[in-house]
Amino acid sequence: MTDESKVSSGHCLCGAVRYEVAGPLTDVHACHCGQCRRQSGHFVVAASARRADFTLNENGALKWFRSSDVAERGFCSECGSALFWRDGGDEISINAGSLDQPTGLKLESHIFVADKADYYEIDDDLPKHQGFAG
């Protein structure tokens, strides 16, 4: 479980994009879809935050790439770090690798498992979904 009062922070590899989350991070999932794979080089572990809790402290280098009809992916245009995913909803998905340690998070599920690459196996007992969870 996540602590309601926790403030999380994170940044891209070069530090040109920095953010804070003044609330809980939830739904920690590994996404095995082809888009995450292409953008990150592997699968992506991400957590969700309420947009109202999310603050960009440094964002001059943040760029948004429209990756589908419904979603955009945020990345640092200086160092290329893949950072965020958002659609029209009131949450933002944050790539967990960009969070400052310790995150206190635990992986909870796998999504888009049918699209995973062929060079690894998903060999834990966490819930596995063909598409989005739920």
Q: Which residues bind Zn ion (CB under 5 A)?
A: 12, 14, 16, 31, 33, 36, 76, 78-79
Q: Of 5, 10, 90, 4, which Cα lies nearest the Cα of 45?
A: 10
Q: Report in angstroms how near the CB of residue 12 gets to Zn ion at its nearest.
A: 3
- Which CA distances in Å does 86 have to 95, 116, 123? 11, 21, 28
Q: Report in angstroms how near the CB of residue 45 gets to Zn ion at its nearest.
A: 10
In the complex with Zn ion, the residue whose CB is nearer, 21 or 29, is 29
Q: Are 57 and 19 in contact (CB under 8 A)?
A: yes
85 three-class SS: strand
In the complex with Zn ion, the residue whose CB is nearer, 25 or 33, is 33
In the complex with Zn ion, the residue whose CB is nearer, 25 or 31, is 31
Q: Report in angstroms how near the CB of residue 76 gets to Zn ion at its nearest.
A: 3
In the complex with Zn ion, the residue whose CB is nearer, 25 or 76, is 76
Q: Report in angstroms how near the CB of residue 49 gets to Zn ion at its nearest.
A: 17
Distance CA 113, CA 52 (A): 30
Alpha helices of 25-84 — where are they, by DSSP H?
34-40
